[in-house]
Structure 1
Amino acid sequence: MNQWTNARLCDVANLILGAILFFSPWIFAFAAGPQTQNALGSGILIVVLSIAALAAFAVWEEWVNLVVGLWVLVSPWVLGFQATTAMTVHVVIGILVAVLAALELWMMYQNPPTQSAA
């Protein structure tokens, strides 16, 4: 159980958030269009990045997760689905994903992994 660090818990939380975003068009009955397509694509990307980070941590995965979280946050205004339930879901999940990715990056830079000589 030593391997369940805070960073891994952030990855698991992002995995769950990505799955919620993926299923949100059905859960919250989004209208067909860019909000549904964005939720599906971004949700899959967040899930894949989280699984990759859980399998083998790499710094670039967290940076990409941060960018995707920021994209999900601003996408309602870029794609034009403001004042909808889809906007609320995207903004909340985008903030959470971006904050978790930033927190994980901050933790990594505060306590860089040590490499042992084999």
Structure 2
Amino acid sequence: MRAIENENGGIFLNGLCVACGVILSLMPWYLELGSGTYAARNAWICGGLIAIVGLMAISLSYDWEEYLNLAIGLWVAVAPWVLGFAAVTHAMWTHVVVGVTVAALAGLELWRLYQVPTARSV
């Protein structure tokens, strides 16, 4: 397991993950989706998880947190087709954009964890 203490760059990346999680969590209300829809439930659960993991990684990032955010981000990006709400265009695009963004941010954090000299094994 690897860890890195975050300075400005790491705090910014994880702050963006928190923002993505909050955006995804609020999306069902903004788009007026019914609370019983797969799109709304997926947005609330995954958005909350993304925000929580991002908050946990603000000061100190572990590789497992970034792998988890990578997996959640990829799931969010493909969920409209897997769960069958791709026809709801606004919900689909929100999921795809947030999912790809979270996966990319997690990839950047993983690169930092394995390439930056200040990262360490724990």
TM-score (norm 2): 0.85
Q: Does 1:17 align with 2:17?
A: no
Number of equivalences: 113
* Gapped regions of structure 2 (runs ≥ 5): 1-5
RMSD of equivalent CA atoms? 1.5
Helix, strand or coil at the partner of 2:32:
coil
TM-score (norm 1): 0.88
Question: d(CA) in 2 for partners of 1:114 and 1:58?
Answer: 10
Q: Does 1:49 align with 2:50?
A: no
> CA deviation digits over 1:9-63, x for unaligned, max 9?
1100000000000000011222441000000000100011001111432110000
The residue that corresponds to 1:97 in the other structure is 102
Mark the CA change 1:16 to 1:29 in structure 2 (over 3 Å): closer, same or farther. Answer: same
Question: d(CA) in 2 for partners of 1:7 and 1:55?
Answer: 8
The aligned runs of 1:1-118 (5 Å cut-off) are 4-32=7-35, 33-84=37-88, 85-113=90-118
- Larger helix share, 1 or 2: 1
* Gapped regions of structure 1 (runs ≥ 5): none
Instruction: Give, as a single letter, the amino acid of the residue that structure 2 aligns with 1:37.
Output: R
Tell me the CA shift for residue 112 of structure 1.
3.9
